Amino acid sequence: MSLDNVSPAAPSTQDALQLLRGDHQRIEALLRDCLRLAVDERGLPPSADRNGCLERLAALLQVHSQIEGELFYPLLKVSALERDSAQLDHDEILVQLQATLAHAPPQDDFERQMGALAHLIRRHIAHEEGQLFRRLRSPDLEALGAQMAVRRGALLGEQGAD
C-alpha cells in the first residue's frame, strides 16, 4: 500500500488551490489503496488493513472538509445554495465512509460500498476543480494556502493521515 504521499502538512509555498488539489490527489491515492484491499492474497478480506486504510481516508476527508468549510467556501463567489450543496456532498461522503467502517461488510457489500463511495468522492472533486476553483476570489492565494496548511496541521495534530 502506498501511503507515503499522505502528509499532515503541506509546504507553505503552496497556494490555496494547490493545497486543495494536493489533498484531492492524496484522497484519490488512499481511495485506490482501500479499493485494492478488497481481498488479500488468499482471497480473504484483510479487515484490519482495510479498516486502517478507511480510517486514514476518513481522517483526511474530515480535515479537508473542515478546511474547505472554514476557509475556502466562504471566499467563493457562489450562492449560499451552492456552498451548502458542496458541504452536503462532504457530509454524504463522510456518512458513507463511516457506514462502511462501522459494519465490516462482507466482500460483495464492501466492493459495492467502496464503488459508491468512490463515485461520490470523484464526482465531488470534479465539481470542485471544474467549477468552484475558478470562482475563488482571493487577492492572495499563497497567504490563504499558508493559512489552510496551518489549520490542516492543527486539525491532524500528531495523528497525521499516514
pLDDT of residue 45: 54
Residue 145 lies in a domain: yes
Q: What angle do CA 48, 52, 53 make, to 5 degrees?
A: 120
User: Given this model, what pLDDT does residue 42 score?
Assistant: 53
CA diameter of the chain: 55
In the structure grid, which three cell numbers stand for residue 71, read together? 476557509
Give the per-residue pLDDT at 158.
58
Residue 3, domain member (yes or no): no
Q: Taking the model in full, what pTM does it have?
A: 0.80
Q: Would you say residue 5 lies in a domain?
A: no
- Is residue 10, in this structure, part of any structural domain at all? no
pLDDT of residue 8: 43
Q: For the chain (length 162 residues), average pLDDT per consecutive 10?
A: 40 80 95 77 63 90 92 84 87 89 71 88 94 83 92 79 43
Q: How many domains does the chain have?
A: 1
Q: Is residue 54 part of a domain?
A: yes
User: How many residues appear in the chain?
Assistant: 162
CB 45 within 8 A of CB 110: yes
> Quick one: DSSP state of residue 32?
H
Residue 129 counted as domain residue = yes
pLDDT of residue 109: 76
CATH (domain of 101): 1.20.120.520
Domain range enclosing 82: 16-156
Question: Is 68 a member of any domain?
Answer: yes
Residue 1 lies in a domain: no
CA angle, corner 100, sides to 111 and 95, nearest 5?
Answer: 125
